[in-house]
Structure 1
């Protein structure tokens, strides 16, 4: 790739992936698709600007505090929330939006050609040209209520008006990503916008959980370690050649215009050959050599070979990237190299011997001239200790995640609730479930996060609580891989298993009455469990609770002689009786239509509840169900291993805040009950759970065979510590 001088410090170059010309300043390292204005004269506007207010100088940036976009003029330094003419749509009705197909999932997403925003949910006002005549049928989608936290689910969610099932692709929404764009200047602008939230902004706004170390903290541990010392000790300085001469540290650690003949590090022969192929993909992505492959295709190739590779091969790719960005004369290639560094740091850490040298390499690039490289270097620098603590991930990132990583941007994920509402929150490749739980709770105005957790829920209604250290985007990548594999096996149009994140109650602790957000979460969980028949419940109990639900949802009864028809008829979306939102399906299972009778009984009870506020109705509902011994139970199938206790061969362990119940799965009879005051100790293995009960003089040990021992152990421990105080169980 040869550059042509065009005047001053500027050179003209050609982007190999698009064939477009761009311009780079060899001194400031600035790059631009526009011809440099200083070479054309101040009075002669650059092509495409049109003079005037210079719309080409406006860039759109994301304010990480509010989540809203603002606009910044790089010439005048003006900042405004109002869209300049450049960003205003030419016509209404979603005219700047286009629909595209995600090649990984086969799902449709929407991309704004002007703002570079992409999303899975259909933009407001967008109409597909092919289905113009169906406009009325497709209107009325999700509507955002508010973006502020502190108001519970009701005030901080979007309402899902569609079906209950949520496709895997809807679990992850892209940041400002154009999958067809090769405009590197725009890419880097997006990187700096997302990372800092605007010029001069600090990254702590982009670190809501406070898990990233500061630059000062990180660099304090470098000491006298340098990347060059690492090169001198571990690189193969005796390179292959006609005279097999020894190369210099500076030469071997600097950008190379052609392929290497052997690995940089001392590697076994089989790994050395893989290292050469890795270098081909590194240079292919950076544009240092011509390639017919899509840029992210090179990234996928690298990750496919390195995700399960020995750590010395992973170190090799970090060293190759350092080499190719060091003294690189092409600023565009250099930016792409740093993009590759960020992507690698999202997937696996360097070895302990390379960690500090790599840290020093990134730290010294903070003083590079230009805007782009220092910001990429700082982003990478802060992720080195982070990925070192987390360890390698399991799955290759999805294309959506890779596009976000290229820009150091966040990815938006959808978090669902039990009432079909949801919120959209930003995450990144390093965020764990425990950290994300904090963000969800903050959004909802919940102070005590301990009762709630994020669950993985499948379209088959199988659920699993996420482990605290589980990485969200790694799980999304796993869902994506399963979807692709299942679709290949079943065919494009076949129904496949889908997954979603659901935030709900895991531990049924007592919540203060004035904690309205917490009460709302507990009420939503309780009412859902009652309607789903998770608890044995008499008909009278069901009717009383249904009346409280109606009061909570609709407020006071309209009064004597006035009709209330919200319980009548069929829900047009679910095609089920509206009454099924309040009563278990068992009341509709025998084929007899008791709807009119049940509605009348509910309305009689409902009329007596006038004056109850929303929160009072929720509290009354919770008080009612808390009186049940089984309330708040998590159920686990198990096989008792103590023959002397004469339990059935299979039982259900019901774990709640009161204790451990042993339930006959057929008769629903309580066979045994152990309160937490009776529990001496407990423990689990990979296929069992054991509990010891009794006192000082006499103790009884009960074994259960189960593959859910770890989760049972975790729940029991949490309840014991809440009810009794910190105690140690056996692991």
Structure 2
């Protein structure tokens, strides 16, 4: 968060930009009185309410565009307008300082010229409705997405209520990353940009945030309440205003909501599935609402069965879809007649497929073979085909979902195969297993837009399965967050087999506590960290990371990775490194830890919760191992604080200090004086801090070591082979200042290299290499260590966060 000083600087910069832009005609006011008001505010900021007519006349050329000054009697008219404003209610009643008036100007411009407050990205239009230019700049701000040219002429303006979806993908080596904006009109604009992921994330952030705060929903189809009920009738296009206790966030989590129909002026409950939450905090204009009436895009994307409101139970199937997209069946092709009921490809079958369902796969031998193999494994999982008893369920789910994850063309095929086996399936056991697969697939990858409507109708018209609401939610998250890299993890498979759609994952903290957190298939590490930080009431999640401990490895989870993907990747990696005997089931349990990884903005006392739960417990072991250069006086003070953390005001254990020195004093200082001397010194220091709580003692400990140059470091014992002036055994410390080389015994720092001086590094199972300075002429440090992967990850993470903070400060 910015400090007050930072906010003042930002406000002043924007203010200077605005008044200069008005003067030179870059920003135009629709009303002359707005221009006069801003001129009056500028005069007030510079001279207060001391109105000097001569001074004001001399300042008018700096307040108004040249075109205004060339009009007849301009100086007299403009001077009178500004004087009138200065004598108005705003200035007479306000007790605001000039800084407050600057803030008012900035607030006005935020609404008047939103482009000023945008993030800009270069992009190239790849597909979609034509624009005057293809080389464009994407501007994203709180009102929507603007496509502008290099002269900042707006080519396309999409307010957030007009945007129904945003997603990013890789379009191939030639074009790189792309993102697509879908509109309520049904248009899709695809742009390529090196910042596609950032744009996708920012637009999604605005859409989700606005939806959560929104009080406005629009009916995407008619709803006729049952006779005698008090439910609210809806017609497609009706705008509803939610009541005071509801908002978009609550609406999206419930089945019903309460509000007023703006058209009928009636209030009542209505089903959430019939409405779409508009991403806006202001009442949308009529022209936006009309788009929903004219377009069926939202209703088509997430349709409801038309008979639901009348109580009918007709189930949606793939029959109609199959006529256009499925291959012809063998019997139909030979006989030329309509398929018999038992030969309809869109219905349940106990016969393995010899060809894929979708005709778009016919002709591709490899994909056709994989499609048929996937269907066979679906049948095995559902119990419709004999399978090896010893085979685990996760073996089958791997075989079902791995091919479509890697081959996009197979994804619709797998959805069609699962829907086929859930249509007219007379076996309750088989059907139950089929719904498990449906739950899993909706968390792995979404179908194409052409199949999405069919899938949504298929799910919404089946109400006898508890998994369906969660399948729809998972599908939405999958559309928003993208495709997984790996098949479902064993934890996910076992969860749905135990009929639970909520996965609570145990997370361990450095203070030896732990807590359960909900995690799902589309949870990324970054989201998981944010969730934990919020629940623990931390000031910020920045610098914290999830760590997975499996076998003897503890590895940080990249924040952009899906959580279960990373655990799966790690498990597979361990399996390859340590293969198990044939016939034996591998048992690799893992634990998840949440700790501070990067210590860039860590100041003891700034975040009490973080200090007490994380910072103290992470720094204590490094202190006791003797990694820091510590004086005897500091060791005494810190030892007393550690005792207070352990026992508080209880003095019954003071006599045992000589026995517990290894828990109070750095290992390299224990023999610096006798145990009794340590005891006397520590007791004296302990008594000095009388009344200090255990939690406050943790913060005091951190404040003592905070000024040390090695505070917040990760330490690595390595063997170096390139620098004759350094000992062979070396201690490397990585912290916010860079990489330090330290004598392992004296703790003297030989050198500290800022990250900006490190031009290259590499790591392997047994080494870590680093180049300082120029790649050609720079010096190299070659180290033997099994911790190379950790050093590599730390350098990458620190540099990445530093660059993010630099870019963030530039933008503000």
- Pair in the same fold by TM > 0.5: yes
> In the TM superposition, what is the alpha-carbon distance from 1:492 to its structure 2 partner?
8.9
1:564 aligns with 2:660: no
Match of 1:342 in 2: 439
2:704 paired residue among 620, 624, 629: 624
Equivalent-residue separation in structure 2 for 1:426 and 1:660 (angstroms) = 37
Residues 167-200 of structure 1: per-residue CA shift (max 9 Å, x gap): xxxxxxxxxxxxxxxxxxxxxxxxxxxxxxxxxx
Q: Return closer, same or farther for 1:511/1:233 CA change in 2, 3 Å cut-off.
A: farther
Equivalent-residue separation in structure 1 for 2:624 and 2:665 (angstroms) = 5
Match of 1:549 in 2: 642
Equivalent-residue separation in structure 2 for 1:483 and 1:704 (angstroms) = 29
3-state SS of the aligned residue for 2:355?
Answer: coil
Q: Return closer, same or farther for 1:556/1:391 CA change in 2, 3 Å cut-off.
A: same
Q: Aligned runs of 1:526-545 on 2, under 5 Å?
A: 526-545=619-638
3-state SS of the aligned residue for 2:495?
Answer: helix
1:285 paired residue among 381, 386, 399: 381
1:582 aligns with 2:678: no
3-state SS of the aligned residue for 2:442?
Answer: helix
Indicate if the aligned counterparts of 1:659 and 1:673 stay in contact, CA closer than 8 A: yes
1:614 aligns with 2:694: yes
Match of 1:412 in 2: 504
Match of 2:62 in 1: none
Q: Return closer, same or farther for 1:214/1:514 CA change in 2, 3 Å cut-off.
A: farther
> In the TM superposition, what is the alpha-carbon distance from 1:713 to its structure 2 partner?
3.4
Match of 1:711 in 2: 794
3-state SS of the aligned residue for 2:750?
Answer: strand
Equivalent-residue separation in structure 2 for 1:381 and 1:602 (angstroms) = 58
Indicate if the aligned counterparts of 2:557 and 2:566 stay in contact, CA closer than 8 A: no
3-state SS of the aligned residue for 2:538?
Answer: coil
- Aligned residue pairs: how many? 493
Match of 1:444 in 2: 536
Q: Return closer, same or farther for 1:721/1:345 CA change in 2, 3 Å cut-off.
A: closer
Equivalent-residue separation in structure 1 for 2:778 and 2:402 (angstroms) = 44
> In the TM superposition, what is the alpha-carbon distance from 1:672 to its structure 2 partner?
2.7
Residues 260-306 of structure 1: per-residue CA shift (max 9 Å, x gap): 3422132433443443343233234335x364666984663242364
Equivalent-residue separation in structure 1 for 2:254 and 2:729 (angstroms) = 52
3-state SS of the aligned residue for 1:364?
Answer: helix
Indicate if the aligned counterparts of 1:416 and 1:422 stay in contact, CA closer than 8 A: yes
Q: Return closer, same or farther for 1:584/1:417 CA change in 2, 3 Å cut-off.
A: farther
3-state SS of the aligned residue for 1:454?
Answer: strand
Match of 2:559 in 1: 468
3-state SS of the aligned residue for 1:655?
Answer: strand
Indicate if the aligned counterparts of 2:628 and 2:747 stay in contact, CA closer than 8 A: no
Extract unaligned runs of 5+ from structure 1: 1-200, 207-212, 570-576, 694-699
Indicate if the aligned counterparts of 1:458 and 1:497 stay in contact, CA closer than 8 A: yes
Q: Return closer, same or farther for 1:433/1:405 CA change in 2, 3 Å cut-off.
A: farther
Indicate if the aligned counterparts of 2:394 and 2:493 stay in contact, CA closer than 8 A: no
Q: Aligned runs of 1:203-602 on 2, under 5 Å?
A: 204=253, 216=276, 220=297, 223=300, 231-239=322-330, 243=334, 245=336, 251-256=344-349, 258-265=351-358, 266-267=361-362, 268-287=364-383, 289=384, 291=386, 297=392, 300-304=395-399, 306-308=401-403, 310-328=407-425, 333-346=430-443, 348-350=444-446, 354-368=447-461, 370-372=463-465, 376=468, 379-380=471-472, 382-383=474-475, 386=478, 389-394=481-486, 396-398=488-490, 401-404=493-496, 407=499, 409-457=501-549, 460=552, 462-477=553-568, 486=578, 488-489=580-581, 499-508=590-599, 509-511=601-603, 513=605, 515-520=607-612, 521-556=614-649, 558=651, 563-564=652-653, 567=656, 578-586=660-668, 598-602=678-682
> In the TM superposition, what is the alpha-carbon distance from 1:490 to its structure 2 partner?
12
Equivalent-residue separation in structure 2 for 1:379 and 1:498 (angstroms) = 28
Equivalent-residue separation in structure 1 for 2:574 and 2:726 (angstroms) = 42
3-state SS of the aligned residue for 2:653?
Answer: coil
Q: Aligned runs of 1:158-173 on 2, under 5 Å?
A: none
3-state SS of the aligned residue for 1:623?
Answer: helix
Residues 380-407 of structure 1: per-residue CA shift (max 9 Å, x gap): 4643552673423335521664333673
Equivalent-residue separation in structure 2 for 1:286 and 1:642 (angstroms) = 61
Q: Aligned runs of 1:78-97 on 2, under 5 Å?
A: none
Q: Return closer, same or farther for 1:434/1:246 CA change in 2, 3 Å cut-off.
A: farther
Q: Return closer, same or farther for 1:605/1:302 CA change in 2, 3 Å cut-off.
A: closer
Q: Return closer, same or farther for 1:263/1:541 CA change in 2, 3 Å cut-off.
A: same
> In the TM superposition, what is the alpha-carbon distance from 1:468 to its structure 2 partner?
0.3
> Which shows bigger deviation, 531-540 or 626-635?
531-540
3-state SS of the aligned residue for 2:448?
Answer: helix
Indicate if the aligned counterparts of 2:648 and 2:694 stay in contact, CA closer than 8 A: yes
Indicate if the aligned counterparts of 1:642 and 1:702 stay in contact, CA closer than 8 A: no
Equivalent-residue separation in structure 2 for 1:583 and 1:602 (angstroms) = 10
Equivalent-residue separation in structure 2 for 1:720 and 1:607 (angstroms) = 46
Equivalent-residue separation in structure 2 for 1:396 and 1:281 (angstroms) = 15
Indicate if the aligned counterparts of 1:416 and 1:501 stay in contact, CA closer than 8 A: yes
Q: Return closer, same or farther for 1:659/1:405 CA change in 2, 3 Å cut-off.
A: same
1:661 paired residue among 740, 751, 763: 740
3-state SS of the aligned residue for 2:649?
Answer: coil
Q: Which has the larger radius of gyration?
A: 2
Equivalent-residue separation in structure 1 for 2:472 and 2:498 (angstroms) = 12
Residues 131-184 of structure 1: per-residue CA shift (max 9 Å, x gap): xxxxxxxxxxxxxxxxxxxxxxxxxxxxxxxxxxxxxxxxxxxxxxxxxxxxxx
Equivalent-residue separation in structure 2 for 1:371 and 1:314 (angstroms) = 26
Equivalent-residue separation in structure 1 for 2:585 and 2:348 (angstroms) = 48
Equivalent-residue separation in structure 2 for 1:428 and 1:551 (angstroms) = 41
Indicate if the aligned counterparts of 1:222 and 1:359 stay in contact, CA closer than 8 A: no
Q: Which structure has more helix as a fraction of its residues?
A: 2
Equivalent-residue separation in structure 2 for 1:386 and 1:439 (angstroms) = 19
Equivalent-residue separation in structure 2 for 1:295 and 1:216 (angstroms) = 47
> Which shows bigger deviation, 659-668 or 620-629?
659-668
Q: Return closer, same or farther for 1:543/1:716 CA change in 2, 3 Å cut-off.
A: farther
Could you state the TM-score of these two structures normalised by the residue count of structure 1? 0.56
> In the TM superposition, what is the alpha-carbon distance from 1:715 to its structure 2 partner?
0.7
Q: Return closer, same or farther for 1:417/1:599 CA change in 2, 3 Å cut-off.
A: farther
Equivalent-residue separation in structure 2 for 1:217 and 1:239 (angstroms) = 46
3-state SS of the aligned residue for 1:243?
Answer: helix
Indicate if the aligned counterparts of 1:359 and 1:384 stay in contact, CA closer than 8 A: no
> In the TM superposition, what is the alpha-carbon distance from 1:497 to its structure 2 partner?
7.8
Equivalent-residue separation in structure 2 for 1:295 and 1:430 (angstroms) = 30
Equivalent-residue separation in structure 2 for 1:424 and 1:534 (angstroms) = 33
3-state SS of the aligned residue for 1:307?
Answer: helix
Extract unaligned runs of 5+ from structure 2: 1-249, 256-272, 279-295, 304-317, 764-768, 783-787
Match of 1:147 in 2: none
Equivalent-residue separation in structure 2 for 1:541 and 1:422 (angstroms) = 32
> In the TM superposition, what is the alpha-carbon distance from 1:545 to its structure 2 partner?
0.9
Residues 590-646 of structure 1: per-residue CA shift (max 9 Å, x gap): 9x9965554444223212221223343223211210121111123468999999x98
Equivalent-residue separation in structure 2 for 1:384 and 1:459 (angstroms) = 35
Indicate if the aligned counterparts of 2:350 and 2:379 stay in contact, CA closer than 8 A: no
> In the TM superposition, what is the alpha-carbon distance from 1:440 to its structure 2 partner?
1.6
Equivalent-residue separation in structure 2 for 1:295 and 1:381 (angstroms) = 34
